[in-house]
A and B are shown apart, each in its own frame.
Chain A
Amino acid sequence: MTKILAIDDSRTMRAMLESALTEAGMDVDLAEDGVEGLEVLPGSAPDLVITDINMPRLDGFGLIEGVRAKPENASLPILVLTTENGDALKQRARDAGATGWIVKPFDAEKLVAVINRLVV
């Protein structure tokens, strides 16, 4: 079963992600911010990470850097979940080491399609 770690400081958004992904038959772990995301990552061992950008304590960019800093996560796909659609932001996400991005509000079907394109 595909395992996703979804990180967002908004509990509404977490609940939405959880429900969309669970419905698509995926297993979902949740975290509230970058710090918690990095904490639960090893135990969660996800196939893919979805992260918000604006979060307290450690934001999405910081999280991505933290994930990529570990050699074992070098090829872990990370999707950025953002309300912004600008190319500057996409570039920033890419530079940070994100695999791709989803724009909020997300469409559950499209989200699942994107995930399927990134997970073996």
Chain B
Amino acid sequence: MSDLRDMFFEECDDLMEVLSTGLDDLQNGNGDAETINAMFRSVHSIKGGGGAFGLDRLINFAHAFENVLEDLRSEKIEADPGLIALMFSSFDHLSDLVDAARDEVDIPEDAGASILADLHQVSAPEGGAGGEEAAEVDSADFVPLTLDIGGDDDTLAPLPDLDFDLGGAAEDSNGTLAYVIEFSADPGLYARGHDPALLFRALADLGELTVNADTSEVLPLNEVGESFAGLKWTLELIPAESTTEDDVREVFEFVESQCVLDVSTTFVEGEAPAGLPDLPDLDAPAELPPLEDIAAPEAAPAPIAEAPAPVAKPSTKPAEAKPAAAKKSEPRNSTIRVDLDRVDRLINLVGELVISEAMLRQSMNELPVSANSSVSEAIGQLKTLSGVLQESVMAIRAQPVRGLFQRMSRIVRESSRTAGKDARMLVIGDSTEVDKTVTERLVEPLTHMIRNSVDHGLETAEDRVKAGKPAQGTIKLEAAHRSGRVVISLSDDGAGINREKVRRIAEERGLVRPEDDLTDSDVDNLLFRPGFSTADAVSELSGRGVGLDVVRSEIQALGGRINLQSEPGKGTLMTISLPLTLAVMEGMLVTIEGESLVVPTVALRETLQPGQANVHDFCEGDRGLSMNGEILPIVDLGEALGFRRPLENLENQALLLIEGESGRRSALAVDTIIEQREVVIKGLEQNYQSIPGIAAATILGNGKIALIVDTDQMIPAAGKSQLSLLKGQEHAEVA
């Protein structure tokens, strides 16, 4: 059962996605009848599953939502902006209810109450009438039914009395209560797959049954034409103790409008028990088989007799209509669900394969005479294949960002409501596929960024109108693949960054000096400094900056970069660029004491060949690199990682200028810089343990292991080094 439950909630995710896509389409005016149908089915299925698991709150809400969608489907109401907004709120609440049910937590009683009331209100005027209508249709249906049942109608109400009376009488007269059932079938009964013999079999389970068939109206087979000549039966049931009239009627539940049925009660004389020996003869095998024999030929002609009618009519219609309907809807992609561990294992193995291939290629190249063209050709093929294989395997983990973006549209709705602003979300490229891990880890940074955009980026409706913009702000979220990376951009059409203010606060916080010459983009990027995310900075800053340093470090942890552009009065654009897969990384291969190391390109800003650098010596072996009027600490990587003793001088060392998450820079001294290349990341923690200064490892083409440097740990913290003190002096000197 818990498997089914899990399955249900997984299905809910998919259904909610359909619902959300439908809502977006409606909002953008792309919706058609099938959009609403699909939305209706989603809510309907959620309700159905909710019913199976007894999730009452979910059922109630889904039911109200479904009613509105039903009215929309039957064009009783229109998808105007008000209704679409209500449906978005309903979507959000439904999603909360699903989550609460999944996690088995309660959400406040009054949560969603107003949405529910609104839903009722929308569907009430029309839906209420519709409900009555339906009730009328029902009763209209019932009238002929009760007429069919005939006299029984009159006895329905007094029936309990009858029971009592008869019960008493039964004792008096020594008789036994029996039901007399008169039954004759309409042709339609057979056409719906019923068989009177099966009905009688079910009755026989309820007590002792006697069946009498009236064959007087049965026509000879050769005379059976279009019209159906029916059998009539009179059945007498002496009910078993627990059998009630309802049980008897329930047997006929499915056929009530396709037959003439009369159920009445009678008494079998006191002799009945004495006559019992006769009864088995009558009702049991003796009587039933002939009945079935009669019923069967009767049933058989029915379809034949009926055949011209039902076959002729529907067969032409469905033949045209159905394939057309099938063609219209898109073919489905069939999918399977696989444990993520298995995919990861596969990805790992393919990573190994790629490395082995590189090793093989390298050793081929090192052979003295590698003129064997067939071998090199084969190796070329192997390289292509392993490349394609790696791509395909990576694609398994890839997911469209749609789900992520849908969550974000909710954030826009919620934060604009909180901020009292009118904002809409525009989504572009939500079918762009990104590694599952990446989409998961983007949730928080994007949420942060969107809240910022709404809170600080967008102006109030009033101000917007004054500035000649539409009152409703637009937040645009876009995803695309660009040169082997995924680019996700978030833009708003707000006021842009107030650079004067940003600069002033940065100066107050000591992040820049008043005399620093900063470009606009330098100022914008100050927002990523940790100094801007403290609580009082937020209250002072009407611009941006809430937690953007956190956002940046999250993005960098994914191997990505974030970039910010702003145009005063026009808005702000933030661009996140991410590697397509997490398993492959771009790095700079360097050597120290003959060992290979990789410095991630993400952190790399500049490389300086030996002799190019302007190195200053300070006390206690500290050295600094003078660049653009700034002194950056130099870290001797060989020493830091324990490859060798500190070097006397750095003249022969190449320098790599890196920037950490905090925006702080330093220079790494290495022996030689080899080349920039892609490497397959191999985690060390699972196999060894976490090592300070080392992020992971990779295997090079020659089979050797190269460690990947954790650049963030290679940047001295402020105050730890003498450099921070010397900075001011040096600056004065330069200035």
- A residues with CB within 8 A of B: 9-13, 15-16, 19, 32, 35, 38, 54-58, 62, 65-66, 68-71, 74-78, 83, 86-88, 91, 94, 97-101, 104-105, 117-120
Contact A13 B52 (CB under 8 A): yes
With the chains together, A58 CA to B52 CA distance in Å? Answer: 24
Selected from B49, B141, B318, the residue in CB contact (under 8 A) with A12 is B49
Contacts of B311 in A (CB 8 A): 69-71
Contacts of B318 in A (CB 8 A): 62, 65-66, 69
Given A32-B332, A65-B317, A117-B202, 14 more contacts at CB 8 Å? A11-B7, A12-B52, A13-B45, A16-B4, A19-B4, A55-B41, A56-B37, A65-B318, A69-B318, A78-B192, A87-B142, A94-B192, A101-B254, A120-B197
Residues of B17-60 at the interface with A, using a CB-CB cut-off of 8 Å, are 37-38, 40-41, 44-45, 47-49, 51-52, 54
B315 within 8 A of A: yes
A-B contact pairs, 12 of them (CB 8 A): A9-B45, A12-B8, A12-B52, A13-B49, A15-B7, A57-B325, A58-B326, A83-B44, A91-B141, A97-B191, A101-B254, A105-B54
B642 within 8 A of A: no
B198 within 8 A of A: yes
Residues of B555-589 at the interface with A, using a CB-CB cut-off of 8 Å, are none
With the chains together, A32 CA to B329 CA distance in Å? Answer: 14
Given contacts A11-B11, A15-B4, A100-B254, whether A65 and B314 have CB atoms under 8 Å apart is yes
Residues of B641-671 at the interface with A, using a CB-CB cut-off of 8 Å, are none
B134 within 8 A of A: yes
Given contacts A54-B44, A57-B329, A104-B48, whether A69 and B258 have CB atoms under 8 Å apart is no
Selected from A35, A83, A99, the residue in CB contact (under 8 A) with B326 is A35
Question: Taking the nearest CB of chain A, how far is it from the CB of B496, in angstroms?
Answer: 46
Selected from A77, A87, A104, the residue in CB contact (under 8 A) with B138 is A87
Contacts of B307 in A (CB 8 A): 71, 74
Given contacts A54-B41, A105-B52, whether A71 and B303 have CB atoms under 8 Å apart is yes
With the chains together, A39 CA to B192 CA distance in Å? Answer: 20
Contact A9 B41 (CB under 8 A): yes
With the chains together, A30 CA to B499 CA distance in Å? Answer: 63
Contacts of B8 in A (CB 8 A): 12
Closest 6 CB pairs of A and B: A74-B303, A100-B254, A87-B138, A77-B193, A105-B51, A12-B8
Given contacts A19-B4, A38-B322, whether A87 and B141 have CB atoms under 8 Å apart is yes
Contacts of A104 in B (CB 8 A): 48, 51-52
Contacts of A54 in B (CB 8 A): 40-41, 44-45
B253 within 8 A of A: yes
With the chains together, A32 CA to B302 CA distance in Å? Answer: 32
Selected from A58, A66, A70, A118, the residue in CB contact (under 8 A) with B193 is A118
Contacts of A78 in B (CB 8 A): 192-193
Contact A99 B194 (CB under 8 A): yes
* Residue of B with least CB distance to A62: B322
Contacts of A11 in B (CB 8 A): 7, 11
Contact B257 A99 (CB under 8 A): no
Question: Taking the nearest CB of chain A, how far is it from the CB of B503, in angstroms?
Answer: 57
With the chains together, A94 CA to B189 CA distance in Å? Answer: 9
B414 within 8 A of A: no
Contacts of B51 in A (CB 8 A): 83, 104-105
Contact B194 A10 (CB under 8 A): no
- B residues with CB within 8 A of A: 3-4, 7-8, 11, 37-38, 40-41, 44-45, 47-49, 51-52, 54, 134, 137-138, 141-142, 190-195, 197-199, 201-202, 251, 253-254, 257-258, 299, 302-304, 306-307, 310-311, 314-315, 317-318, 322, 325-326, 329, 332
Given contacts A12-B11, A71-B311, whether A120 and B48 have CB atoms under 8 Å apart is no
Given contacts A65-B314, A83-B47, A101-B254, whether A117 and B198 have CB atoms under 8 Å apart is yes
Question: Taking the nearest CB of chain B, how far is it from the CB of A106, in angstroms?
Answer: 8
Contact B48 A13 (CB under 8 A): yes
Contact A57 B192 (CB under 8 A): no
With the chains together, A105 CA to B302 CA distance in Å? Answer: 34
Contact A120 B52 (CB under 8 A): no
Selected from A66, A76, A88, A97, the residue in CB contact (under 8 A) with B134 is A88
Question: Taking the nearest CB of chain B, how far is it from the CB of A111, in angstroms?
Answer: 12
| Most A CB within 10 A of own CB, among B190, B192, B193, B194 | B193
Contact B322 A88 (CB under 8 A): no
Contacts of B202 in A (CB 8 A): 117
With the chains together, A3 CA to B302 CA distance in Å? Answer: 24
Contact B4 A117 (CB under 8 A): no
Question: Taking the nearest CB of chain B, how far is it from the CB of A39, in angstroms?
Answer: 9
With the chains together, A11 CA to B4 CA distance in Å? Answer: 9
Contact A10 B49 (CB under 8 A): yes
* Residue of B with least CB distance to A14: B7
Contacts of B137 in A (CB 8 A): 87-88, 91
Given contacts A9-B45, A98-B192, whether A69 and B52 have CB atoms under 8 Å apart is no
Contact B7 A100 (CB under 8 A): no
Question: Taking the nearest CB of chain A, how far is it from the CB of B273, in angstroms?
Answer: 29
Contacts of B7 in A (CB 8 A): 11-12, 15
Contact B192 A99 (CB under 8 A): yes
Question: Taking the nearest CB of chain B, how far is it from the CB of A72, in angstroms?
Answer: 9
* Residue of A with least CB distance to B190: A75
* Residue of A with least CB distance to B332: A32
| Most B CB within 10 A of own CB, among A68, A71, A74, A97 | A74
| Most B CB within 10 A of own CB, among A11, A19, A32, A58 | A11
Contact A69 B4 (CB under 8 A): no
Contact B303 A75 (CB under 8 A): yes
With the chains together, A119 CA to B7 CA distance in Å? Answer: 31
Contacts of A58 in B (CB 8 A): 322, 325-326
With the chains together, A52 CA to B191 CA distance in Å? Answer: 20
With the chains together, A98 CA to B257 CA distance in Å? Answer: 12
With the chains together, A118 CA to B251 CA distance in Å? Answer: 10
With the chains together, A19 CA to B5 CA distance in Å? Answer: 13
Contacts of A117 in B (CB 8 A): 198-199, 201-202, 251
* Residue of A with least CB distance to B139: A87
Question: Taking the nearest CB of chain A, how far is it from the CB of B329, in angstroms?
Answer: 5
With the chains together, A100 CA to B257 CA distance in Å? Answer: 12
Contacts of B306 in A (CB 8 A): 74
Contacts of A70 in B (CB 8 A): 311, 315
* Residue of B with least CB distance to A114: B254
Contact B4 A68 (CB under 8 A): no
* Residue of B with least CB distance to A10: B45
Question: Taking the nearest CB of chain B, how far is it from the CB of A89, in angstroms?
Answer: 9
* Residue of A with least CB distance to B18: A56
With the chains together, A119 CA to B197 CA distance in Å? Answer: 11
Contact B52 A118 (CB under 8 A): no
| Most A CB within 10 A of own CB, among B41, B54, B302, B311 | B41
Contacts of B54 in A (CB 8 A): 105
Contacts of B138 in A (CB 8 A): 86-88, 91
With the chains together, A54 CA to B254 CA distance in Å? Answer: 21
With the chains together, A115 CA to B201 CA distance in Å? Answer: 13
* Residue of A with least CB distance to B257: A94
Contact B134 A86 (CB under 8 A): yes
Given contacts A13-B48, A13-B52, A74-B306, whether A120 and B253 have CB atoms under 8 Å apart is no
